[in-house]
Structure 1
Amino acid sequence: MCSDQNHITGSISNHLENGQNDPICVAVTIDINDISDGALKVLKQIKPFWPINNVQFKIFTNGTTNKLIGCCIPKHNNNDEIPLGGEDNLNRYEVILIRIYGKNTEVLIDRQKEVENFKSLHRYGFAPKLLATFNNGLAYEYTDGKPLSKSDVYDEQIWRKIAQRMAEMHRDIDCVPLNEPVLWKKINKFFDLIPTKYSNPVTQQRREELLPPIHEIRAEFNRLYAVVSKIKSPVVFAHNDLLLGNILYDTSAEIVTFIDYEYADYNFQAFEIGNHFTEFAGMTDIDYTLYPPKEYQLDWLREYLTHYHKHDSSVVTDEYVHQLYADVNKFALVAHFFWLIWGHIQAEHSEIDYDFLEFASLRYNEYLAKRDAFLSL
C-alpha cells in the first residue's frame, strides 16, 4: 500500500493539488487478531498528541470484505471516562476510523486506485479526509451518520437525499470520452478469477449443490451482455457498491454520505442506480421482495434526473424517466451477475464468516426470476 505512485487516469486526477492531500504512509501491518496494538502504531503517526492510553476502540463492522474499527478519545480533556456506548454517543468523541483489508482482497480490488479515488473524492466534497495508508489498510476521518436499514430506503426524506447525492456525484465529477466504463472489463476479470476447483473440498461440494457449472453461468451472461451492451447509458464516475451499509444518514443534519470507495470508477449511470436498487434486499436475511416497485422507481428516478440536470424541467420528461427506468432494471440484472461472480471468488479467498456461495446462489436465482420481465421493458 505504501507507494510512490500518484497517478490515476481520467479527469478526476486533475482535481488533486500537488500532493497536499496525500496521506501519511505508515509501514505497519495490523494483525487481525491484535487490532488494538497495530491501530495504536498508526495513531501515533497521525495523531502524535493523542493520549494513547485513553483510546477506546469500537468495532463498526466486520463487513463482507474488510474490518472497520473506530479509535476514539473524548473531545474534552478531563479525567472522567465517558462510556463509549452506541453511535449516538460518538459526538462526544474525536474518532479516527481504521479499515483493515480482508485477506486476498487485492485480487478483486486495486488498492492504489482506491487511495487515489479517496483523495480525489475528498477534494470534490464526497468523502472524508484520508489520513494514512498502512500495509493492509487505511485510516481516515469519521463521518457522522448511521448505515441505512432496509426500511430507511423507503423513507421519502432519506431516499430523495440519496437520489440527490448520487446525481451530484455523477454530475459534478467530470467525465471525458477517454473514461471507459469499467463494468465489462471487471466482469471478465472476475470470471477469470473463479477457481476451476476450490481448495476446500467442502466448498467445492457446496458450490456444485447450489449453482450450475461456471460455463453455463458464463453462457447466460453472454446472452445478457448481447442485449444490455446496446444500451446507450451515460458514463459517470460511480461508486459502484451502494449497498445499505455504504450509505450513512445523519438524522440531526439530514445529510446522506456515501462511504467505502473500493469499487469506485467510471461506469454506466444505469448500472449504478440498478445496483443500488438490488441492494434493498440487504446482505443478511436477504429479501428480494424488497426490490423497489415501478412507482417508487419512477419517483426516485425523476428526483435523480431533476438534480442531475440542475432542475431543468424541459429536459426531465416522462419519456426520459421511463427510458431510464427500463435501462436501470436491465442493468440490475448485470449487477446480480457482478456480485454472484464476486461471491465465487470470495468463497475461495475470504476468511470472513459469511456464506458467499449462498449469496451467489441467491443472486443468480433472482436474476433468473427477473430476467424475462426486465429484458422485455
Structure 2
Amino acid sequence: MSAGSREHASDVPAGPGASEWDSVLDRVTCLPGKPYQVEVLTGGLTNINLKVSHAEGAVVVRIAQPGSELLAIDRKAEHLNSTAAAQAGVGAPVLEYIADPGLLVVGFIDGRAFTDDDIRGGAHLSRIAAACRQLHGGPRFVSDFNMFDIQRGYLDIVQREGFRLPARYLDFMPQAARIESAFHTRPQPTVPCNNDLLAGNFIDDGRKIWLIDYEYSGNNDPCFELGNIWSEANLSLEQLEELMEAYDGRLLRHRVARARLWGLMSKFGWTLWGSIQASVSSIDFDFWEWAMEKYERAAAEFDGPAFARLLDDAAAGGPDITMAP
C-alpha cells in the first residue's frame, strides 16, 4: 500500500560520495557516472521512493523496506507486472530491477499526483475509467490477486503474531463468506489490475493519467479495481455509478453492486494490512488509526440495510440488469 506522491519532495543535494543514498544508488547501473540530485518522495507507506535527477533526465528508485514479506508483496512479480503496465502504455517505463537489496528503477513521470479531493471533485472520473480500461486491456500479469485470499492470509498473520484486531472483526467473517459465495455464483474474467489505486498513484501529465506503483498488482476482477478506487477516495455512491458507467459504457446494477461489495472487502482486508504495519513498520505513520478508519466504514456497510440487496444484485448478473433512470 503505497502512495507515489510527487508533490511534497524534500531536496537532498547529492553527488558521488556526497549523499546518504550513494551506497544504494551505486548499485543502479542505469544512472550515469555524473553528479545527481536526490529528492525523497513522501507519501509512501511501504517503501522509500527517491527521485534521482541528472543531466540526462530523472528516474524514481523504489527501495523496499523490511516487513513487506508479511504484506503479500512479491517483488519479482511487481517488476514483471510493472513492465507489462508500461507495455500497456499506462505505467512508467521500467529501467532496472535489482532483487538484492530490492531496488526497482522506473522513469520519472513529469506530472501531478492526485489527491482525494481531485478524485472526489468528479471532473476526472471518466479519465480515470479510461486509464483503468487501458491497463485492463494490456498484457496479462504474471500473478493473480484475490482479496478474499489476501484477507485470510493477513488474518492468519495477525492472529499468529498476536497483532491488534479491531473489536467484532471476526464477527463479520460470515458476511465476507457470503460475498465470496455471491461472486462465485457469477464468476467474472480477470484482467491485469493495479489493485492499489490510492489518489497518489494517479499521475496527471496534462494529457493523460498514468497509473503507478504495482506492489499489489495481479490479474483480478476489474470491479475490484473500481470498487477499491471508490473506497480509497471515499466517493459517493453517485460517483461510483458515474465511474462504473464511464468504464462499462452503460450503468449496470449488478456491476455497481459487485464494485460496492469489492470496495467493502477492500476496507475489510486493508484493515489487517494496517494492523500488520502498525506492528512491524519503521515508517513514522499512525497505521492503526488508518486501519480503524477503514474498519469503521466496513463495519457500517456490513451492518447496513443495503448489504443483503447488494448480494442479490451481484449474484443475479446478466447484461439485462440495467439501472433504472
TM-score (norm 1): 0.69
Q: Is the 8 A contact 2:226 2:243 kept in 1?
A: no
Report the Cα offset of residue 335 of structure 1: 0.8
Map 1:330-345; keep pairs closer than 5 Å. Answer: 330-345=261-276
Corresponding position of 2:225: 272
Equivalent residues of 2:30, 2:96 under 8 A apart: yes
C-alpha deviation, 1:352, in angstroms = 0.9
Alignment correspondent of 1:376: 309
Taking the aligned partners of 2:103 and 2:68, their CA distance within structure 1 comes to 11
More deviation, 56-65/129-138: 129-138
Cα displacement string for residues 327-363 of structure 1 (whole angstroms, at most 9, x for unaligned residues) = 1111111111120121122122211112222222221
Paired with 2:195 and 2:46, the residues of 1 have a C-alpha distance of 15
Partner of 2:6: none
Q: Secondary structure, in 3 states, of the residue corresponding to 2:233?
A: helix
Which amino acid letter does the alignment assign opposite residue 225 of structure 2? E
2:149 counterpart of 1:182: no
Post-superposition offset of 1:190:
1.9
Query: Which of these residues, 120, 123, 146, is aligned with residue 112 of structure 2?
Result: 146
Q: Relative to 1, partners in 2 of residues 1:160 and 1:58: Cα closer, same or farther, differing over 3 Å? A: same
In the alignment, residue 172 of structure 1 is paired with which amino acid?
Answer: G
Look up the SS of the partner of 1:132 in the other structure. strand
User: Residue 86 of structure 2 contacts residue 93 of structure 2 at CA under 8 Å; is this kept in 1?
Assistant: yes
- Deviation at 1:220? 5.0
1:115-161 deviations in whole A, cap 9, x for unaligned? 11122222232322222223122112111211111221144542211
8 A contact 1:275–1:331 mirrored in 2: yes
1:42 positional shift: 3.0
Aligned partners of 1:35 and 1:342: how far apart in 2? 30
User: Which residue of 69, 74, 82 corresponds with 1:110?
Assistant: 74
Tell me the distance in 1 between the aligned counterparts of 2:270 and 2:173.
Answer: 14
1:75-133 CA-to-partner distances (Å, cap 9, x unmatched) read 5xxxxxxxxxxxxxxxxxx1111111122112320111111112222223232222222
Which structure has the bigger radius of gyration? 1
Secondary structure in structure 1 of the residue aligned to 2:106: strand
* CA displacement at 1:214 relative to structure 2: 5.8
Task: Pick one of 361, 372, 377 that aligns with 2:292.
Answer: 361
Question: Paired residue for 2:30?
Answer: 46
Amino acid in structure 2 at the alignment position of 1:183? M
- The separation in 1 between residues aligned to 2:112 and 2:149, in whole angstroms, is 33
Answer with 338-347 or 118-127: which moved more: 118-127
SS across alignment from 1:67? strand
CA spacing shift, 1:35–1:160, aligned 2, 3 Å: farther
The alignment covers a number of residue pairs equal to 287
Moved more, 181-190 or 63-72: 181-190
Secondary structure at the aligned position of 1:196 is classed as helix
Match of 2:38 in 1: 57
Q: Which one of the candidate residues 170, 184, 193 is aligned to 2:157?
A: 193
Cα distance, 1:181–1:128 mapped onto 2, change above 3 Å: closer
Structure 2 unaligned spans of 5+? 1-18, 311-325
Distance 1:174 1:245, change over 3 A: same
TM superposition shift of 1:257:
0.3
How far the C-alpha of 1:39 sits from its partner, in A, is: 4.1
1:171 corresponds to which residue?
Answer: 137
Aligned match of 1:302 in 221, 235, 245? 245
User: What residue ranges of structure 1 are gaps of 5+ in the alignment?
Assistant: 1-33, 76-93, 199-203, 282-290, 307-315
Q: Which amino acid aligns with 1:323?
A: H
Q: How far is the alpha carbon of 1:266 from its aligned partner?
A: 0.9
2:83 alignment partner, SS class: helix
Deviation at 1:35, TM superposition (A): 4.4
Deviation at 1:47, TM superposition (A): 2.5
Cα deviation for residue 73 of structure 1 reads 2.3
Q: Percent identity?
A: 25
Q: TM-score, normalised by structure 2?
A: 0.79
Q: In 1, distance between residues paired with 2:108 and 2:145?
A: 30
Query: Equivalent residue for 1:347?
Result: 278
> For residues 157 and 214 of structure 1, what CA distance do their matches in structure 2 show?
36
Which residue pairs with 1:66 in the alignment? 47
| Secondary structure at 1:140 match in 2 | strand
Provide the residue aligned with 2:88 in structure 1: 124
What letter matches 2:195 in structure 1? N
Asked whether the 8 Å contact 1:147–1:247 carries over to 2, the reply is yes
SS at match of 1:125: coil
Amino acid aligned to 2:261: K
Distance in structure 2 (CA, Å) of the matches to 1:368 and 1:59: 36
Please state whether the residue corresponding to 2:269 is helix, strand or coil. Answer: helix
After TM superposition, give the deviation of residue 262 of structure 1 in Å: 0.6
Instruction: Sort the Cα spacing of 1:343 and 1:242 in 2 relative to 1 into closer, same or farther, 3 A.
Output: same
